[in-house]
Structures are given as structure tokens and as C-alpha cells.
Amino acid sequence: MEILEGINARQSIRAFKPDPVARDVLNKILQAVSNSPSYTNSQPWEVVMVMGKKKDELGRKLLELARAKAPTSPDLPMPKGWPAALEERSREHGARRLTTLGVARDDEEGREKLRLMNFEFYGAPCAVFLFIDGSLGEWSIFDMGLFAQNLILAAHSLGVESCLQASVTNYAPEIKKFLGIAESKKLVICVSLGYPDKKAKLNTYRSLKEKPDEFTRWYE
């Protein structure tokens, strides 16, 4: 697939078919992602692929925690607040998702159901966890953003779609314990991977994006 075409067509997927992604397809994706750029070629990424029964078991544990509204402890803290324009885009994004599904804003149960879908990886057969060493800081997080973007684009080029999921990282200590990962590592992001359920309502809307003129200044 041509790169520009892939960038333009990719979108987050929030309903997957249960069909597994073959190991050779996943290996092809990982091979491509290994070519990601990083600060002084430090390659900080540590990748954990979770599939099959192990993924189901982890999903059940996370769902239990999320349902009980267990205390959260992400390794990357949320900002205390967002600038107004960003806050508005985020609110609009949430509202559009609810409208697409026909869930009313005051339908607490419907909204909760939607939130909880995160913790079952939206039904994806593969959950990818991206870690870095706990001593690393902003530049390595930056590298991980590039790595994650390459991951989802490489997957997309092979018909495998994705959803990045910061929400899952709320339970970083429990995930590390479950996976046998040292507490000192930082969980940066979870990426659900699989084949999209194209008929699912959740996959029918595209996020609104600002136009280049709205975020770019030119100087000559």
C-alpha cells in the first residue's frame, strides 16, 4: 500500500472480528516497526504481544477493575487540564461517538458500557503493550509515539486495524504483574490489533480533523 494512501485511510477501529492475526503477519509488522527512528538510535521500545487465552484472561481482570472503578495508576500521568480548544475537540469526539451509537448524553449505563469496551480490547484478538525502561523520559516517549504510529500504519497496510488505548494503561501495575514485567518499567500505551468488523456502528464514523491551514503558519 502506498504510504500516503495508508495515512489517509487509517482510522481507529473499536469493533474487531475475533479472527486471530497470523503470527507471520504480526512478524511482518514487527519487522517493519523495527526500522522506526529514535533519539540517537537508542530504540527504547519493549514490546509485549498478548493473544489467545492469555489476552482473554487479562481482559477479564481489567474489566473487573474498570467495572469496580478500582484506583488507577498510569505510568504516564494525565495533564491537569487541557487548553480550551483541545478540550473542546475531545468533548466533541466523545459526543459524536455517542450520537453514532444512539446513546444519549445522560444515559449513564450506555456510556459506561462504551467505556468498559476498552478493557476487552474492543474484541481484538491481539493486544500489544509498549513499555520503556523506567529511567527514560520525554524523548523516549516521543520515540514511542513514532514507533506506535509505524505499528498501526504497518498493520493497516496488511489489512490489520488498530486502536491505541491509553485508558488501558490506567491499570499499569496490574498489567505488569500479570505479564511478569518489572514494576520499574513504564507502560506507554496499549494497542489493540485485529481485523475490523466493518458492519459495527462503532466503526462507521470518522473523527473530525483540523485543516492544515488551521494548525500551520508559513514564513518565507
Ligand X SMILES: Cc1cc2nc3c(=O)[nH]c(=O)nc-3n(C[C@H](O)[C@H](O)[C@H](O)COP(=O)(O)O)c2cc1C
Residue (7 or 22) nearer to ligand X, CB: 7
Count the site residues for ligand X by CB under 6 A: 12
- Rounded Cα–Cα distance for residues 216 and 49 (Å): 37
Under rule CB under 6 A, residue 202 binds ligand X: no
Q: Is 170 in the site for ligand X (CB under 6 A)?
A: no
Sheet harboring 186-194: ordered strands across? 46-51, 126-132, 186-194, 161-165
93 binds ligand X (CB under 6 A): yes
Q: How far is CA 109 from the centre of its chain?
A: 23
Scan residues 144-163 and list those touching ligand X (CB under 6 A): 163
Q: Is 55 one of the binding residues for ligand X (CB under 6 A)?
A: no
Question: Which of residues 164, 187, 193, 202 is near ligand X by CB under 6 A?
Answer: 164
Beta bridge partners of 192: 127, 163
Under the criterion CB under 6 A, does residue 128 sit at the interface with ligand X?
no
* 167 near ligand X, judged by CB under 6 A: yes
27 vs 178: CA distance, rounded Å: 23
Answer for which of 34, 42, 99, 207 binds ligand X (CB under 6 A) is 207
One-letter amino acid of 192: S
Binding to ligand X (CB under 6 A) within 182-201 occurs at: 189
12 belongs to the binding site for ligand X (CB under 6 A)? yes
CB of residue 23 to ligand X, shortest distance in Å: 26
Cβ–Cβ < 8 Å for 5, 135 = no
Write down the least CB distance from residue 139 to ligand X, Å. Answer: 17
Query: Which range in 8-16, 17-25, 41-49, 174-182 contacts ligand X by CB under 6 A?
Result: 8-16
Nearer to ligand X, 99 or 207 (CB): 207
Distant-in-sequence contacts of 53-58, Cβ < 8 A, 24+ apart: 55/121, 55/125, 55/126, 55/127, 57/178, 58/127, 58/175, 58/178, 58/179
| Residue from 143, 165, 186, 203 binding ligand X (CB under 6 A) | 165
Q: Which residues of 117-152 are buried (b: 16+ CB within 10 A; e: fewer)?
A: bbbbbbbbbbbbbbbbeeebeeebeebbeebbebbb
**What does residue 88 show for φ and ψ, rounded to 5 degrees?**
-65, -40
Cβ 46 to ligand X, closest distance in Å? 18
36 or 118: CB nearest ligand X? 118
Residues in contact with ligand X by CB under 6 A are: 11-12, 14, 93, 118, 163-167, 189, 207
